[in-house]
């Protein structure tokens, strides 16, 4: 029953995450804590499992050919150092105040997207060179720090930043988020937390199975449904993640 609960929670969380562009930790991390894991072990275990979300989404998005190589390398180069820094620090820092602040900010993302009706419906890429590119990279570094330290909702930050600053539509932004954050950022965070902390390995197979399948299904839904439904899903998930972080 424990393994079944882990698989079901992972499948549901990662399907919604792959469709909306983030938020898998909304359900998966609290389930791990509810089942008895301390926060640090639950976070590391979740990070390992969430890598499969990126793998599942990558398998689906590779068939579409929507990712541009130079931009992929840029997101990795700016975000991964932040992930390592955040994962190195979080095990030493009480996280409740940070969770509340992150919850308020995440909720604000959903409200902002909702109030901007045309946001992310079409792709008008900008800030791909000069100071605009470097400022965008600096913000991705900060989001990487959050990704390494606080797991719930940081993929949503990347999705909205790609839409708002770089001018991507939601469908394209979600593809970048799931492949790069899901696989590479979370993989780096999992490795760092695994080296510094502890992972509950007996729970990993069920979580990986649910994450892999959920990532593929959610990516398939995102590709099929288009920007309007992805935007609505993004706004719903950001609201739920924000409220969950604030309430605790």
* Token pair 């791909």 in the structure block, residue: 128
Q: Compute the average pLDDT of residues 72-97.
A: 80
Q: Residue 187: which of 137, 148, 154 has the closest Cα?
A: 148
C-beta atoms surrounding 60 within 10 Å: 21
pLDDT mean over 215-220: 85
Q: Among residues of the chain, what percentage have pLDDT more than 90?
A: 17
For residue 152, pLDDT over 70 is answered with no
Query: Is the pLDDT confidence value at 175 over 90?
Result: no
Q: How many residues does the chain have?
A: 248
Mean predicted lDDT score pLDDT of the chain = 83
Contacts of 209 (CB under 8 A, 6+ apart): 7, 10, 52
pLDDT score, position 231? 86
Give yes or no for a contact between 87 and 61, defined as CB atoms under 8 angstroms apart: no
CB 28 within 8 A of CB 7: no
Beta strands in the chain (DSSP E): none
Rounded CA gap, 136 and 46, in Å?
28
Burial of 165 (0-12, 13-18, 19+ CB in 10 A): middle
In the block, tokens 């490795």 appear at: 191
Structure tokens at 223: 């590709």
Composition of the chain by helix, strand, coil, percent to 5: 80, 0, 20
Buried b (16+ CB within 10 A) or exposed e, 219-230: bbbbbeeebebb
The confidence band for 102, taking pLDDT boundaries of 50, 70 and 90, is low
Q: What percent of the chain has pLDDT over 70?
A: 91
């Amino acid at each position: 029953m424990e393994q079944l609960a882990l698989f079901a929670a992972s499948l549901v969380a990662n399907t919604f995450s792959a469709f909306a562009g983030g938020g898998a930790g909304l359900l998966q991390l609290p389930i791990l804590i509810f089942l008895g894991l301390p926060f640090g072990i639950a976070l590391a275990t979740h990070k390992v499992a969430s890598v499969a979300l990126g793998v599942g989404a990558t398998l689906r998005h590779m068939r579409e050919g929507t990712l541009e190589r130079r931009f992929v390398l840029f997101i990795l180069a700016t975000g991964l150092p932040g992930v390592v820094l955040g994962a190195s620090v979080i095990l030493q820092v009480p996280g409740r105040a940070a969770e509340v602040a992150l919850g308020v900010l995440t909720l604000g993302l959903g409200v902002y997207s909702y109030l901007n009706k045309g946001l992310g419906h079409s792709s008008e890429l900008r800030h791909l060179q000069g100071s605009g590119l470097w400022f965008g990279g600096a913000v991705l570094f900060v989001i990487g720090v959050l990704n390494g330290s606080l797991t719930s909702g940081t993929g949503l930050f990347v999705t909205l930043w790609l839409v708002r600053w770089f001018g991507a539509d939601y469908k394209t932004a979600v593809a970048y988020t799931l492949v790069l954050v899901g696989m590479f950022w979370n993989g780096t965070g999992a490795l760092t937390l695994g080296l510094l902390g502890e992972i509950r390995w007996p729970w990993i197979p069920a979580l990986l199975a649910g994450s892999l399948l959920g990532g593929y299904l959610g990516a398939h839904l995102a590709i099929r449904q288009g920007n309007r439904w992805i935007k609505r899903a993004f706004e719903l998930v950001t609201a739920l993640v924000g409220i969950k972080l604030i309430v605790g």
